Chain A
Amino acid sequence: MSLRSQLLKGVLEGCILSIINRQPTYGYELSVRLQEFGLSDVSEGSIYPILLRLQKEKLIEGTMQKSELGPKRKYYHLTEAGKEALIEFIEQWETIKLPVENIIKKEE
């Protein structure tokens, strides 16, 4: 795995938890959101292995529901463990975000 994808993997999980936390979301919608936020390099399909892993770790749960228009969809929501994991992710992100930015800026 390239450094790029390793870097992205953990961050992407955190972002997915964060988006699902705002409101129940289904797969396609989730990938649209990620792209809207600028993560356009993330290939669309790559969210599904992550969603499966998050379900296996019991951080999210999905239920098949009728959508307003269109077919049935699997909507995800966070479990209690998922909410804790999200808080933890945000804390960890805060502790590395500034130092990393400072280091990179000095390089320039």
Chain B
Amino acid sequence: MNSKDIIKLNNNLREKLSEENKEVYEDMLVYIRLNANKSEQQTEEVLYELLEHLLEAQKDGKTARDVFGKDLRKYCDELITEIPGEGKSLAFVSGAYIVIYFLAIISTFHGLGNFVLSQFFDRFSNNFTFSLGSGITVVIVDLLILSVFIFAILRWIKNSTFKEKKTKKWVEFLQLWLISTAFIGATVVIPIIMPSFGTEITIPVLTFAGVGILLFLLAFVLNKKYRITK
């Protein structure tokens, strides 16, 4: 059974938990799932086992803390250390998927956006000119920023689990807004401050968009084949 199918089972079965147990279990679920470098299959299998166990224990009037101990964070850490790492090939495919998807978004929207603008305004050209050296550098730096952003968000979510007192909604919103704004800002600023170097290349903006759409297709096929997101 594939991990994505187990996730679906988990989603349905979880509804049978009592209010209190559900809150604790979902904290554990988030905390354990966020370890991106662990085998997704093993992670989902053990999460499903914990859920099933908790449902059985619930029938005897037990709570999540009775079953998994008082220190839930410590218990989850114990589990996480025993979950094997994700196989190298699968980790590589998932990484490639993110990179391709990111490039697809950039080239499609940049291409289409410039095409539309060039139809209405003279100062936007039908052709897109960039320097090979700085172009590649910008993409690499942007990908690095993206990975920092992803890790920041994962860390933020992990910190939000097992809280005795829930953080106020507006504080959470402000924190996430700051992280996201910093990310978008950095992504936009990099190409502006990057000095151009390397050979200049000019391609029609529609070709640029076409490349983006091809990348989208590639990402789609990868996802279908390896079941990366569903």
B6 pairs with A64, CB closer than 8 A: yes
A43 pairs with B69, CB closer than 8 A: yes
Given contacts A45-B69, A64-B1, contact A28 B53 (CB under 8 A): yes
Determine whether B75 belongs to the interface, using a CB cutoff of 8 Å to chain A. Answer: yes
Encoded as 1 (CB less than 8 Å from any B CB) or 0, chain A from 54 to 93 comes to 0110000010100000011110000000000000000000
Given contacts A27-B52, A72-B9, contact A44 B67 (CB under 8 A): yes
Determine whether B83 belongs to the interface, using a CB cutoff of 8 Å to chain A. Answer: yes
B45 pairs with A62, CB closer than 8 A: yes
Interface size of B in residues (CB-CB distance below 8 Å):
25
Determine whether B186 belongs to the interface, using a CB cutoff of 8 Å to chain A. Answer: no
Nearest CB of A to B165, in Å: 25
List of B residues within 8 angstroms of A49 by Cβ: 78-79, 81-82
B79 pairs with A52, CB closer than 8 A: yes
Q: Scan residues 23-47 of chain B and give those whose CB is less than 8 A from a CB of chain A.
A: 42, 45-46
List of B residues within 8 angstroms of A51 by Cβ: 46, 49
Encoded as 1 (CB less than 8 Å from any B CB) or 0, chain A from 4 to 22 comes to 0000000000000000000
Determine whether B113 belongs to the interface, using a CB cutoff of 8 Å to chain A. Answer: no
Given contacts A52-B82, A56-B84, A71-B13, contact A26 B49 (CB under 8 A): yes
B9 pairs with A27, CB closer than 8 A: no
Q: Scan residues 94-123 of chain B and give those whose CB is less than 8 A from a CB of chain A.
A: none
Max chain A C-beta neighbours (<10 A), residue from B53, B83, B84: B53
List of A residues within 8 angstroms of B83 by Cβ: 52
Nearest CB of B to A9, in Å: 12
Partner of B49, one of A46, A48, A56: A48
CA separation between A31 and B82, bound complex, in Å?
A: 19
Determine whether B68 belongs to the interface, using a CB cutoff of 8 Å to chain A. Answer: yes
- CB closest chain-B residue, reference A44: B67
Q: Scan residues 193-219 of chain B and give those whose CB is less than 8 A from a CB of chain A.
A: none
Determine whether B57 belongs to the interface, using a CB cutoff of 8 Å to chain A. Answer: yes
CA separation between A51 and B42, bound complex, in Å?
A: 11
Q: Scan residues 54-68 of chain B and give those whose CB is less than 8 A from a CB of chain A.
A: 56-57, 66-68
List of B residues within 8 angstroms of A71 by Cβ: 9, 13, 52
- CB closest chain-B residue, reference A46: B69
CA separation between A15 and B160, bound complex, in Å?
A: 37
| B residues adjacent to A (C-beta < 8 A) | 1, 6, 9, 13, 42, 45-46, 48-50, 52-53, 56-57, 66-69, 75, 78-79, 81-84
15 contacts between A and B (CB under 8 A): A26-B49, A27-B49, A27-B53, A31-B53, A44-B53, A44-B67, A49-B78, A49-B81, A51-B49, A52-B79, A56-B82, A62-B45, A64-B1, A64-B45, A72-B1
